[in-house]
A = this chain, B = another copy of it.
Amino acid sequence: MSRFTAFLPIAGWLKTYSRQDVNSDLFAGIITAILLIPQGIAYAILAGLPPQLGLYASILPPILYALFGTSRTLSVGPVSIAAIMIASALNAPEISALGNPVQSALILSAESGLIMLLMALLGMGSLVNFISHPVLTGFTSGASLLIVGSQLPQLAGLKSPACGFHFACYRDYLLGYNSAALIIGVAALIVLTVFGKPLTTLLKKLGVKLSLATAISKCGPLLTVLLTTVAVNYFDLSGQNKVAVVGRVPAGFPALTLDFIALEKWRLLLPSAAFIALIAYVESVAIAKVTANLRGEKIIPNQELIALGAANLATAISGGMPVAGGFSRTMVNFTAGARTQMAMIIAAAILALAVIFFSPWFENIPKTALAAIILVAIIPLIRLKNILHLWCYDRGDCTAETVTLLGVLILGIEKGIALGIILTLVNQLRKISRPHIAVVGRITDTAHYRNAKRHSVETWHHLLLLRIDESINFANIDYIEGFVASELILQPEVKHIILIFTSVSDVDTTALEALESLNHDLQASRITLHLSEVKGPVLDKLERTDFLKQLKPGKVFFHTEDAVRELA
C-alpha cells in the first residue's frame, strides 16, 4: 500500500482530508487562479504563441501534478524561463522554416514530458544534483535579462526594426514608440509596484490578516489587466490599431488533440525539448523544496519527474505549452494558506471556467500591460549581486556563474546552460586533480597528527607522514606521485613513507596500478611504503588485490600513532 501511495501521493493525503483543509485550499486556489490567468496569457505571448496555449497549460497539467506530485503547494503551469526557452527554440531558423509554431510548441511539451518520464524510469531523479546553484543562478539571471530585453520594446509598443544596426535606423526604431502603449504600460507598472510591498505593508499596519493582505496584493496583475482592457475598450485604442492587443481567444474548453504527432519535427526539436525538460525539472524541484522545507515536508525527486512528465504530456494533449513549477505562484499559493494539492485542482477548475465563459473578454488585453506584468515578475530573478558574494567564497563557483550568465546572453540559452554544466564538471575534475596533501607530524604529547605547516608538531628525519585529502584516482595519482617525489628530494634520509588514508574513500584501477609501481620504485631505493587509517571499504577493495602483499615489509596500520611508535 505504501508503494502505491508513493506512486500516487494523492491516495495518501486524500484519506485524511478535512473540512478545514477545504477552506484553506479553496481560498489559496482562488488567489492562485487570479494570478494564473494573466500569467498564462503573458507567458504564452512571451513564448511567441497564441494566448490560449498558456491558458490550456494551466488546466490539465496542475491536475495531473496534483495526482502524482510530492509537493503540496507547487503551482505547475506556464513559467517565464520555460517561455523564453520555447521562444528561442521556435525562433531557430531550421524550426521556424517548418512553420506551424503551435504544433512545434505541442511537440516540445510532448517531448519534454516523455524525456522526464524516461528519466524517472532510469531513476535519474538525482540528476538534479548535477546542476550546481551557481550555474542555475547564472542561467536564471541571464534568461531573465533576455526576457527584460524582449519585454521593454513591448512595453513601449515599438515595432521590430525593418533595417540593420546602424544608428539612424536604431534612432527611428526608438522614436517609433507608441505613446498610448507607453502610457498604459507605465501605468500598469505603477499599479503593479504599488500592489507589491507598499500595499502589503499598509494593510499590515491597518491590522488586516496576513492571508487576506496577501490575497489583496496578489490581485494586482488581474486588476492591471482589467483596468487596461477597460481603457483600451473605452478609448477604442484597438480599433484604430493603435495598441497591440492579445487578439481573439477561442472560447470553450480545449479540445484534446494529437496534433503533436509529426515525427519529422521531433528530431529537430529534441535538443531544445531536452534542455526545457532539464531546466523545468531542476527549477521545479528547487522551488518545491523551498516550501516543503518551510513545512517539514519531503520532496521525492524521482516522483517529481513522474508528476512533471505527466503534466507535460497532459499539456501536449490539451493543446498547451510546456509547463513547470513557477516560483512566484507557488509562493502565493503557499502564503495564501494552501494545505494540499487540492488548491491546485481548484485553481485549475477556475481556469477552466474562465476559458469557457470569459474568453471573449481577453481579446482586448493590451500587450503592453502583459509586458509590465512579466517585467515585475522577472526582475527579482536577476541576481547579479550574487556574483560578487560568490567571488569572496569560491572563485570556481563565481566563474561558473559568470560564464553561464554571459553564455546565455551571448551564445543563447541552450549553449549557455550547456557551457555552465560542462564548466562545473571540469571544475570538479580540476579540484580532484590537485588534491590537498599535508606533510603531518605529531602534536607533542598527544596521539594527534596535524599539518606540519599549520601546527607546531614533532617530525622524524627518516619518516615521511603524508595525509592525502582526497580519494585517489586517475585524475590525481600523477600529482600525488609528483608530490611524493619532491618531498623525497627535500628529505633524502627518509626510509619509511606512511600514507594516511583518513580522507581516501576510493582507490580506482589507474591509481592502484600507479601505487603498485610507486611501491616497486621505492623498494628499489630501499624506502618502505606503509598505509594508515585506511577506511573499511577501501581496505576491503585493496584486500581483493595483490597490493598489500607487494607492500611487505610495508604494513597497514590502524592508527598513525601505531605506525610512528613502531617506526620512529
Contacts and interface: CB of A to CB of B under 8 A. Distances in A.
Interface string A451-477: 100100000000000000111011111
A311 to B, nearest CB: 22
Question: Chain A, interface size: which category?
Answer: 35 or more
A510 B425 contact: no
A204 interface: no
B436 A537 contact: yes
A524 B505 CA distance: 33
B393 A132 contact: no
Nearest to A398: B509
Contacts of A133: 474, 509-510, 513
A134 B541 contact: no
B429 A130 contact: yes
Given A447-B447, A478-B128, A505 B469 contact: yes
B509 A132 contact: yes
A241 interface: no
A134 B128 CA distance: 28
B545 A431 contact: no
Given A535-B469, A536-B454, A293 B505 contact: no
Contacts of A506: 431
Interface string A479-507: 10000010000000000000000110110
A16 interface: no
Contact of A471 (B293, B470, B477, B510): B470
B535 A129 contact: no
- Determine chain A's interface SS by DSSP, over half rule: helix
Contacts of A478: 126, 128-129, 301
Contact of A474 (B131, B298, B477): B131
Given A478-B126, A505-B469, A535-B436, A517 B293 contact: yes
Contact of A536 (B301, B451, B473, B503): B451
A541 B436 CA distance: 14
Nearest to A434: B126
B424 A425 contact: no
Contacts of A131: 474
Which residue among A129, A397, A435 has the maximum number of chain B CB atoms within 10 Å of its CB?
A129
Interface in A371-419: 390, 392-394, 396-397
A448 interface: yes
Contacts of A565: none
Nearest to A453: B536
A510 B293 CA distance: 16
A559 interface: yes
A508 B394 contact: yes
A489 to B, nearest CB: 11
Contacts of A431: 471, 506
Contact of A429 (B428, B471, B541): B428
Contacts of A448: 559
B470 A505 contact: yes
